[in-house]
Structures are given as C-alpha cells and as structure tokens.
Amino acid sequence: MTLRFHFHPLSSYCHKALIALYENETAFEPVVLNLMAPEVRAAFRKISPFGKMPALEDTGRGHVVNEATTVIEYLDEHYRGATRFIPADADQAWQIRMWDRFFDNYLHDSMQRTVGDSLRADGSRDPYTVEQCKKRIFEFYGILERHMENRDWIGAQFSLADCAAAPALFYANTIYPLGRDYPHARAYLSRLMERPSYARALAEAEPFFHFYPLDPKPQRVLAAV
Ligand SMILES: N[C@@H](CCC(=O)N[C@@H](CS)C(=O)NCC(=O)O)C(=O)O
C-alpha cells in the first residue's frame, strides 16, 4: 500500500478528498487523526505545515499532498480511474476549477466559520461574521439554484467541482436548510448524498455525528420542507 490518507471521518474537507478516493475505489491506508490530542497535532504538523486535514501521503512516490483540491488533482494524475475529476477539454476544465473555488471560498468557508462560531464559548462569538456568512450562503444558494436548473452535475460529468460541492452543501444545509426556493439545489444535494462515494463517506461519519453541534440529518430536513 503506498497511499496513506490522514483525515477525520467528520471533517468536511476530508469528505471532499475521500469522495475522490471512493469514486475510483483507490486503495489507501486510512490514518484517523484526533487533532485534539497535542501529540497527534504536533506529529501531524510535520506532514501538513498548516496543520490542516486532509493530507495524502504517497510513500511510493515520496510526496505529501495537502489541500483537498490538490489531493484530487494528484489522484486524477497519478491514480487515475473511471471517474476523471478534471475534464480533458480545456474550457470545461477551467469551469470545473472555477466552481471548485466558488464552493470552497464562498460556501464551504462561510459554513465552516458559522459552525466554528457555534462551538465558541459565550462571550467570544462573532455575530457580525455569522451574519455576513449567512448572506453569502444564501447568495450562493441562489447562484447554485440557477446553475443547476437543467443539469445533474456542475459540469457535463461528475468532477472535482461535485467533490467540493458535496460536503459544503451537506453541512451548509444543516445550518440553513435549502427550502422551497431552491428545488434544483435541493435535488442536487440529494443526488450527491445518494452517490455511492459520498453515501459511504457519510455512513462512516455517522458514528461521529454526536460531536457535530447541529442536526446532521438533511434527509429529514429535505423531506420536511
Ligand atoms: N484549505 C484546506 C482546508 C482544510 C481544513 O479546513 N481542514 C479542517 C477540517 S475540515 C482542519 O484540518 N481543521 C483542524 C484545525 O484547523 O485545527 C483544504 O482545502 O484542504
């Protein structure tokens, strides 16, 4: 086994890369991290300079790859499978990369800040930032709703952008459920959750969901709205 994947089953950015690994049934050794333990955190910093999960260690090729997007690009290049994450067509490729950045920089970031704020102690919360994030999440929902009107995936086929979309949308939906105004975005989230690669990552996250501060059961939310 040459690939070691350092991650936590609850982590949204880890889900993003895990989807790519599961899509192509790429063999890897899972290394589950408990970054609450100072010794684990210190050891992990040696392979991930900013201390952020996920990290993919390729012992065969002698590389450590950080950043979920880069992990997926690396897999697409060196551990290629039936699902290709970056389209061969150059114009399709930049659009997929652009949507990957949209999901990370606007939806995922706003979701992560909001969840992070809810975990802070009283007195150290930041309502202004939470409000800004809420605006950005709903702005994003609107953009996504229009984009998904006539399509199943962000591009012509399942890609890097859909790997980015799945956890960002899954967790954002636990904070601000996609309501009646977003039928196409809701249907897209359902498709992502039913995709075997993400269904598997979510099933593996299930035993850890009690650590998550919100209700992580969007199936029920989706059914209720
Ligand atoms: N830009 C990074 C973000 C990764 C990230 O934020 N990871 C979170 C988990 S979802 C993490 O490692 N948090 C632990 C910490 O900050 O101590 C990526 O795309 O991989």
Q: What is d(CA 198, CA 23) in angstroms, rounded to the nearest whole number?
A: 9
The confidence score (pLDDT) of residue 213 equals 83
The confidence score (pLDDT) of residue 75 equals 98
114 neighbors 131 (Cβ within 8 angstroms)? no
Domain with CATH 1.20.1050.10 in the chain: 90-224
Q: Tell me the average pLDDT across 86-98.
A: 98
Q: Tell me the average pLDDT across 74-95.
A: 98
Q: Which atom of ligand 1 is nearest to the CA of 71?
A: 20
Q: What is d(CA 129, CA 38) in angstroms, rounded to the nearest whole number?
A: 29
The confidence score (pLDDT) of residue 184 equals 98
Domain covering 3-78 in this structure, CATH number: 3.40.30.10
Q: What is the mean pLDDT of the chain?
A: 94
DSSP 8-state assignment for residue 46: T
> Does pLDDT of 182 surpass 70?
yes
Taking CA atoms only, the protein residue closest to ligand 1 atom 18 is: 67
The confidence score (pLDDT) of residue 221 equals 40
What does the pLDDT look like over 70-84, one tens digit per residue?
Answer: 999 999 999 999 999
Provide the CATH topology of domain 90-224: Glutathione S-transferase Yfyf (Class Pi); Chain A, domain 2 (1.20.1050)
> Does pLDDT of 169 surpass 90?
yes
81 neighbors 90 (Cβ within 8 angstroms)? no
- What is the spatial order of strands in the sheet that 29-32 belongs to? 29-32, 3-7, 55-58, 63-66
From the CB of 48, is ligand 1 less than 6 Å away? no
In the chain, % of residues over pLDDT 90: 92
> Does pLDDT of 31 surpass 70?
yes
Q: Calculate how far, in angstroms, residue 66's C-alpha sits from the geometric centre of ligand 1.
A: 10
Q: Tell me the average pLDDT across 55-78.
A: 98
Q: Tell me the average pLDDT across 175-201.
A: 97
Q: Which atom of ligand 1 is nearest to the CA of 52?
A: 12
Q: Tell me the average pLDDT across 128-148.
A: 98
The confidence score (pLDDT) of residue 219 equals 46
Q: Calculate how far, in angstroms, residue 109's C-alpha sits from the geometric centre of ligand 1.
A: 10
Q: Which atom of ligand 1 is nearest to the CA of 53?
A: 12
What does the pLDDT look like over 5-23, one tens digit per residue?
Answer: 999 999 999 999 999 999 9
> Does pLDDT of 216 surpass 90?
no
The confidence score (pLDDT) of residue 217 equals 63
From the CB of 19, is ligand 1 less than 6 Å away? no
Q: Calculate how far, in angstroms, residue 225's C-alpha sits from the geometric centre of ligand 1.
A: 31
The confidence score (pLDDT) of residue 214 equals 79
168 neighbors 69 (Cβ within 8 angstroms)? no
